[in-house]
């Protein structure tokens, strides 16, 4: 669901390496005219990690396990310049300019990269067993990953379905970051972690997947079992998705039980569970192999949530599809109707140039011109209804209500003007990197 990199825009989004492939936002749009300016590189201002939503087990890193209904600065990291954030099931990873990785939240499976006798942390702790500078981090439901300079990949946390990619002989969890030996000589530039599966994107545009293969989320197709029946297989080591080898993929995402990627031509491919139409293929069938989503214009990046999916086009438009529970598709209504195929989100975003989309379990966030919009599940069915004790608040609007269309997150609550650079959605918490300007 969640990955982040400290690389510059040109490295993180290869579409932007050519002046002909910028996000093309018309003059009528709010924000900048070109995607290169819209999702700009960091400036010289002080940067902060802001987190909000469910605070159980310290996933917000705020020293207390309390929920927050509005963005709250993680002051324990004020001596660092954060560059990327990845929100997982109940934990959060933060990457700094120095290439250091910090983790906070639940550590039941070792997903924080600290010994298991530390059940959780209320403030970010450094993951100290990573050799050298890291350039990318990713967080899944209960596992984590980092890519170091030079391309080495490290994983840690839950391994019950082989999602760490360390082979069949490894135990069901690893708290200490382990080098993925089978990737020796293969340089990854991006990872995406789902609930029990992992995706890796190489510098050459190949996609590897491993972990739980249920519903076809690994994209390797079905194979016959000993009785001749076709089944989806789990993989304990990274395996190249053969059907994507000639596509030169630029972006990958992993959801709860489905996956997606975007090739160099802006074509989106989806695979895995399709029961709630999260594949955008016009049916509710699973797909064990990547299939193109035909009802889309050229896309820059894609994001998979629990049962919904979003995509940002090269023109800065947002398309959503899949389950609309709690209004997480942003179409202005809460009915549980499914969007069988991608549909453009307009309303309050009609004049905005979207540069990033992030999907949580049942909520969504986008970035546009340094501003954040969120919608979907706000935690309204939680046990409590008071800020600090709620199970929700992940939309950041000062309450735990559900919102059926995009609403602006108020960043003016801070003393200084803040510009949002990147966002990440976890199960029921949200994070962002903000810069003082």
DSSP E strands: which ranges in 336-394?
339-344, 356-359, 363-368, 371-376
Question: What is the CA angle 220-221-225, rounded to 5?
Answer: 110
* Ranges 16-30, 146-160, 223-237, 360-374: which has the least confidence: 16-30
Count of positions (residues) in the chain: 437
User: How far, in Å, CA of 125 to CA of 131, rounded?
Assistant: 16
Residue 212: other Cβ atoms inside 10 A: 21
Q: What's the mean pLDDT in 173-182? A: 96
Helix (H, G, I), strand (E, B) or coil at 384: coil
pTM of the model: 0.90
What does pLDDT average to over the chain?
A: 89
* Ranges 26-35, 85-94, 244-253, 298-307: which has the least confidence: 26-35
pLDDT greater at residue 336 or residue 377: 377
**pLDDT reported for residue 229:** 66
Q: How far is CA 251 from the centre of its chain?
A: 11
User: How far, in Å, CA of 47 to CA of 114, rounded?
Assistant: 26
User: How far, in Å, CA of 320 to CA of 305, rounded?
Assistant: 11
**Could you tell me what percent of the chain has a pLDDT over 90?**
80
Phi, psi angles (nearest 5°) of residue 151:
100, -5
**pLDDT reported for residue 9:** 32
Please report where in the chains the tokens 């039980």 appear, as a residue.
257
User: How far, in Å, CA of 92 to CA of 168, rounded?
Assistant: 27
Instruction: Report whether pLDDT(21) > 70.
Output: no
Phi-psi region of 387 (alpha: psi -120 to 50; beta: other; left: phi over 0): beta
Q: How far is CA 361 from the centre of its chain?
A: 11
């Amino acid at each position: 669901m969640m990955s982040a990199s400290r690389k510059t825009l040109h490295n993180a989004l290869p579409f932007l390496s050519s002046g002909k492939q910028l996000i093309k936002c018309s003059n009528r749009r709010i924000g900048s005219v070109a995607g290169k300016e819209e999702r700009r590189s960091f400036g010289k201002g002080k940067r902060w990690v802001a987190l909000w939503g469910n605070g159980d087990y310290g996933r917000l890193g705020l020293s207390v396990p309390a929920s927050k209904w509005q963005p709250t600065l993680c002051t324990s990291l004020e001596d660092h310049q954060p560059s990327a954030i990845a929100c997982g099931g109940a934990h959060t990873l933060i990457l700094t300019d120095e290439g250091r990785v910090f983790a906070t939240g639940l550590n039941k499976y070792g997903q924080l990269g600290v010994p298991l006798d530390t059940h959780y942390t209320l403030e970010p702790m450094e993951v100290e067993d990573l050799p050298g500078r890291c350039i990318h981090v990713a967080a899944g439901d209960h596992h984590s990953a980092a890519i170091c300079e030079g391309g080495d990949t490290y994983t840690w946390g839950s391994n019950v379905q082989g999602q760490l990619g360390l082979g069949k002989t490894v135990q069901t969890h690893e708290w200490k970051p382990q080098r993925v030996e089978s990737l020796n000589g293969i340089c990854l530039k991006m990872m995406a972690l789902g609930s029990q599966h992992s995706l890796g994107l190489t510098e050459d545009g190949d996609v590897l997947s491993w972990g739980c293969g249920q519903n076809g989320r690994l994209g390797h197709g079905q194979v016959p079992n000993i009785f001749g029946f076709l089944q989806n297989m789990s993989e304990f080591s990274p395996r190249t998705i053969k059907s994507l080898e000639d596509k030169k993929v630029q972006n990958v995402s992993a959801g709860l039980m489905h996956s997606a990627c975007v090739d160099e031509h802006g074509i989106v491919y989806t695979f895995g569970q399709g029961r709630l139409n999260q594949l955008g293929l016009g049916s509710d069938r699973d797909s064990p192999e990547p299939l193109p989503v035909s009802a889309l214009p050229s896309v820059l990046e894609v994001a998979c949530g629990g049962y919904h999916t979003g995509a940002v086009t090269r023109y800065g438009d947002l398309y959503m599809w899949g389950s609309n529970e709690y209004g997480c598709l942003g179409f202005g209504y809460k009915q549980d109707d499914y969007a069988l195929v991608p549909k453009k989100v307009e309303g309050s975003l009609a004049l905005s140039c979207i540069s990033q989309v992030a999907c949580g379990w049942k909520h969504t966030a986008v970035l546009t011109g340094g501003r954040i919009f969120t919608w979907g599940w706000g935690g309204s069915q939680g046990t409590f209804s008071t800020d600090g004790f709620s199970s929700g608040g992940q939309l950041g609007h000062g309450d735990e209500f559900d919102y059926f269309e995009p609403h602006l997150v108020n960043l003016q609550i801070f003393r200084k003007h803040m510009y949002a650079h990147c966002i990440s959605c976890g199960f029921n918490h949200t994070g962002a990197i903000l810069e003082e300007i």
